[in-house]
Structure 1
Amino acid sequence: MKRRDIIKGLTILPFTGSFLSAESVFAAPRGPLVAGPNIYESIGVDPVINCMGTYTIIGGSLERPEVVAAMHAASGFFVQYDELAFGVGRRLAELTGAEWGMVSAGCAAGMKHVTAACITGGNPEKLIRIPDLAGFDKTEVVIPISSRNVYDHAIRNIGVSIITVDTMEELEKALNPRTAMIYLMAGSETSPGQKFALETIAGIAGPKGIPILVDAAAEDLTIPNIHLKQGATIVAYSGGKALCGPQCAGLLLGRKDLLMSAWQAGAPHHGPGRDNKVGKEEIMGMLAAVESWVTRDHVEKMNTWHTYLENVSKRVLNVNGLKTRFIEPEGLNNRSPLLTITWNPDQFNISGPEVAEQLAANKPRIAVHSNLSDESGNTSISVCAGQMQPGNDKVVADRIVEVLSQQHTKQKEMSPPSVNITGRWDVDIEFYSSKSRHTFFIEQDGNWIKGSHNGDFSLRDMVGTVDGDQVKISSSDRHIADNIPYIFSGTVSGDSISGQIYMGEYINARFKAMRHDQKAVRRTIKYPTSRPFSS
């Protein structure tokens, strides 16, 4: 599964956003922390069976035993951090064949440090001035449009200007003495022969001395490294994804001088990366993850994942009307097999997203992918095996069968609207520590509404429904590398609508909208018949 496809789906997956309010519906009376298998329950939080993959919001991946052991051992001693970084850098080079290695506080932090390295060249006088880049020689980062994504905030945090290009011709023209680096997200778009092939870009950037940073966060680590072979200067991985290392660690491989400058941009040194401190425990845990990766039996791992999915498939096929399909991973990104379970929603009176929501909302909680409808009109859920643990397959299969064996009531038609909300509405939104005034301009046609949502910084289209006195409105604040969904759910009472806002990965907010009370302005207009004598 492509990382970009996962990013696009973030707003519709129950576990990738604020599916629950801050006060979880599962919250139990809180007691003292109890270490052990019930550590989360001891503070009133229920864990999740992960059948989605290495999403940070549900814990990424589980650290391998070797990683846990290394972190525990490292926690018992003091060490000079630069000496530690240099020792680990050398060992990572030995293991991976790269010139040097570095451990950061996550992949995004590593991207930030590398950006700082590219604009400062390791000069502390420049480093401490970030993000004020006045007087810097290099202040621009070039990114192909296909590589713009929510993670490039890490690059923008340094204060550089982002130059987005749509074609290779534009990319070549964009490169100039101010260009600090080129950033690429690894994927099909950067593969050989593609529009923004890494090899092609390296052939242009190399002679100009412009570094290329490749973000391969969710990929399997390749040795020798495929991206470095194709011309990348630095490649960045997440520690808490395929490598099953520390969740809050990242791995950087590539050119030694740049990685030395990148290390200097973060703790224990002061400057723009001090806030991205990586501990001695995470550094050694990340090294242990790479040591384990090079000796692990990856074929056996894949066979185990297939067995999990086969067991789930056999169980659910006992339910009449369910079909299953195995999807093998392609490429290096999120390299795990999937099992897709498909059905006719008219037969079961429930959709894939609704099944996913039930699995998420009831114990034992299970996170799965879902799809509302395919080309045939069928709906589905998908089980990803990559982070399933022994015994999960039986629990997951039983829960899916339980939900899809129940009698579900066919969704009723919407009730006739009891109100007409056409017009302008002043919308007061309460975030956790601030308030904001937005505006709706609504046109209502029976149960359906459309219009405009004027937010803090942009005007966007919106659509929605009126079901009796219940209103649901959807809009989206879209940017090149970001998207904030707004799903309003409220009740109409007189000239007000109040309720909650679901905002995807961001925490839910509350709103109250009041019909705009504006008296009609009536005055005659005179059209001048001659040219003015003053201005």
Structure 2
Amino acid sequence: MKRRKLIKGLSLIPITGSVLSAQSVWAAPAENGFAGTILPVGTESAAFGALKNEPNIFRSIGVEPIVNCRGTFTIIGGSIERPEVRAAMEAASKDFVQYDELAFGIGRRLAELTGAEWGMVSAGCAAAMKHVTAACVTGGNPEKLIRIPDLSGFEKTEVIIPRMSRNAYDHAIRNIGVTIVEVNTQEELESAINPRTAMIYLMADDPSVAGKPLTLEAIAKVATPKNIPILVDAAAEVLTIPCVHLQRGATLVAYSGGKAICGPQCAGLLLGKKDILMSAWQASSPHHGPGRDNKVGREEMLGMLAGVEAWIKRDHKAEWKQWLSWLDHISKKVSTIDGVQTKVEEPTQLSNRSPVLHISWNPDHLHITGEELAEEVGRNKPRIAIGSRSEPGTTSITITTGQMQPGNEKVVADRIYGILTQKRSPRSTEMPAPSATISGRWDVKVEFFSSQSQHSLTLEQDGNWLQGSHKGDFSVRDIAGTIEGDQVKLRSVDRNPGDSITFIFSGTVSGETISGNIHMGEYLTAKFTANRYTYKGKRQRIMVPGGPPLAT
């Protein structure tokens, strides 16, 4: 699975709530529109004191840590930095240095290590994408640089992106003010290239898969003769030396420091053409301009270099063997449960490469779904982040090894075994009868953290089932859900190129009002109040004219 596609797949901790214990660490009441303040079990009313390093620094401020069986997701910390990385960052923190000199020294050393023409460290992979875009738009001209994002009078103002490569992270490119031109075929690519084309951006594809439209080789065949740079986003990939994407025709390749390389979470790695990377560095902090907000410190810069140095020396085969041994321990434990099957997947692609254990069962047999199990272990101590999914007749969870730490496998095995062996009664499939009829139009006030919006819902009700439309600030989309007793649950998705926002309404109907929370995943939680729309038109008969008017 590619680097960024993971965010479109299974959720980190599914929202079900059907098996949560009363001691859920997410059970704190909603405050200021944020339903889900995390507090450790049994300390909801405790007063936390000064920051402490033992037994866990996060618990000292009321935040419960997580066992990561999900992968290198930024929202749970990315990766654990290598000891060499932490040592380099600590050493770098003790002296001052001129940042341009440091960047040039690191660039030379990265070139020696990787075989690329030059290297650069940025404040994360998205920042790397932003700086490269600025470099391709300005050509290193500071008069242009300080005018971004106003590109009036610029020769280069467009970035071509294959439709299959659109993703939430291309905001970093759009931040420069360029016009995005989507293409889907080789013919469209050739037609889209023009004197305004600044660069072409695409997600890293698997070089072993042939016959796909718009492969890197196919793009390079058209772009390279026209001197159009190609930026490949390889954020979650393992680092290949020499870089396979540069060999296949890319001009520049961007990696995340805090994923497979296990460098600083707030660092990114750029490899490729020196002239463009020099212009990208010019567009980065400490220099002023559009990249000043993406500051990378001397600690992260040397930490990222140390991460690459360590990557070359690491025993990757031994790491893989250790990961498999952890999955074997978990598999042996849960396989003793009647009806539970396990399977280990060993990915071969470059992105998110680490073994994954799939644990599956019939939910009608154990009376729990994978989503419910993931919810239980994700919300309660010891907290564990796992993947989950369900299909007709089967449900499953996934254990990803890449960021597990020694000893985690025992905690995970015991936790999952304990939940799956609990005795549960079969759940009734009967829904409580609805307490109200809510068909019709509803005016919805949405309260975000610091603003309000007016939305509207138009609903049709068929017993417990609801469907209709949700009009937001900029679009109208389908919505569907249920009403069980006085509890209303609805779901809609606002989709944009590379982006989507899921709205999950959870509220209580009382008379002509529905109120509750809107859960929006990574965008946290808002409050809503919906009032039934009152039509103001007069009742009157309508005469239909027999033809066009005789006067205007």
Common topology (TM > 0.5):
yes
- Residue of structure 2 in register with 1:360 after alignment: 378
More displaced, 211-220 or 499-508? 499-508
Question: Are the aligned partners of 2:442 and 2:532 in contact in 1 as well (CA < 8 Å)?
Answer: yes
- Residue of structure 2 in register with 1:470 after alignment: 487
Instruction: Read off the aligned partner of 1:85 and give its amino acid letter.
Output: A
- Residue of structure 2 in register with 1:390 after alignment: 406
Tell me whether 1:271 sits opposite 2:294 in the alignment.
no
Distance 1:319 1:44, change over 3 A: same
Normalising by structure 1, what TM-score?
0.97
The CA deviation at 1:284 is 0.2
Question: Are the aligned partners of 1:188 and 1:194 in contact in 2 as well (CA < 8 Å)?
Answer: no
Distance 1:191 1:36, change over 3 A: farther
Instruction: Read off the aligned partner of 1:14 and give its amino acid letter.
Output: I
Within a 5 Å distance, the mapping from 1:335-484 to structure 2 comes to 335-373=353-391, 377-412=393-428, 413-484=430-501
Q: Structure 2: how far apart are the matches of 1:157 and 1:133?
A: 12
The CA deviation at 1:194 is 1.7
Q: Number of matched residues?
A: 532
Tell me whether 1:6 sits opposite 2:6 in the alignment.
yes
Q: Structure 1: how far apart are the matches of 2:446 and 2:37?
A: 19
What SS is found at the alignment partner of 1:505? helix
Q: Structure 2: how far apart are the matches of 1:189 and 1:267?
A: 34
Tell me whether 1:259 sits opposite 2:277 in the alignment.
yes
- Residue of structure 1 in register with 2:70 after alignment: 52
Q: Structure 1: how far apart are the matches of 2:94 and 2:261?
A: 24
Question: Are the aligned partners of 2:370 and 2:390 in contact in 1 as well (CA < 8 Å)?
Answer: yes
The CA deviation at 1:534 is 4.6
Q: Structure 2: how far apart are the matches of 1:24 and 1:270?
A: 38
Q: Where does structure 1 lack aligned partners over 5 or more consecutive residues?
A: none
Q: Structure 1: how far apart are the matches of 2:547 and 2:241?
A: 80
Q: Structure 2: how far apart are the matches of 1:3 and 1:122?
A: 30
The Cα offsets for residues 345-384 of structure 1, whole Å up to 9 and x where unpaired, read as 00111100000000011111000000122xx621000000
Distance 1:527 1:93, change over 3 A: same
- Residue of structure 1 in register with 2:126 after alignment: 108
Question: Are the aligned partners of 2:15 and 2:375 in contact in 1 as well (CA < 8 Å)?
Answer: no
The CA deviation at 1:30 is 1.6
The CA deviation at 1:308 is 0.6
- Residue of structure 1 in register with 2:21 after alignment: none
The CA deviation at 1:432 is 0.7
Distance 1:96 1:338, change over 3 A: same
What SS is found at the alignment partner of 2:524? strand
The Cα offsets for residues 34-91 of structure 1, whole Å up to 9 and x where unpaired, read as 1244100000000000000000000000000000000000000000000000000000
Tell me whether 1:513 sits opposite 2:527 in the alignment.
no
Within a 5 Å distance, the mapping from 1:119-198 to structure 2 comes to 119-188=137-206, 192-198=210-216
The Cα offsets for residues 321-351 of structure 1, whole Å up to 9 and x where unpaired, read as 1110011112101001100000000011110
Within a 5 Å distance, the mapping from 1:225-264 to structure 2 comes to 225-264=243-282
What SS is found at the alignment partner of 1:89? helix
The Cα offsets for residues 154-196 of structure 1, whole Å up to 9 and x where unpaired, read as 0000000000111111011100000000001012499553211
Instruction: Read off the aligned partner of 2:8 and give its amino acid letter.
Output: K
Question: Are the aligned partners of 1:192 and 1:198 in contact in 2 as well (CA < 8 Å)?
Answer: no
Question: Are the aligned partners of 2:354 and 2:400 in contact in 1 as well (CA < 8 Å)?
Answer: yes
Distance 1:25 1:465, change over 3 A: farther
What SS is found at the alignment partner of 1:311? helix
Question: Are the aligned partners of 2:370 and 2:396 in contact in 1 as well (CA < 8 Å)?
Answer: yes
The CA deviation at 1:530 is 4.5
More displaced, 445-454 or 184-193? 184-193
The Cα offsets for residues 288-322 of structure 1, whole Å up to 9 and x where unpaired, read as 00000011111001101101100110111121111
- Residue of structure 2 in register with 1:493 after alignment: 510
Q: Structure 1: how far apart are the matches of 2:535 and 2:547?
A: 34
Question: Are the aligned partners of 1:16 and 1:504 in contact in 2 as well (CA < 8 Å)?
Answer: no
What SS is found at the alignment partner of 2:545? coil
Instruction: Read off the aligned partner of 1:178 and give its amino acid letter.
Output: R
Identical pairs, percent: 63
Q: Structure 2: how far apart are the matches of 1:359 and 1:331?
A: 29
What SS is found at the alignment partner of 1:372? strand
Instruction: Read off the aligned partner of 1:451 and give its amino acid letter.
Output: G
Distance 1:534 1:133, change over 3 A: farther
Q: Structure 2: how far apart are the matches of 1:408 and 1:196?
A: 51
Q: Structure 2: how far apart are the matches of 1:209 and 1:306?
A: 45
The CA deviation at 1:4 is 4.6
- Residue of structure 2 in register with 1:221 after alignment: 239
Q: Structure 1: how far apart are the matches of 2:167 and 2:5?
A: 11
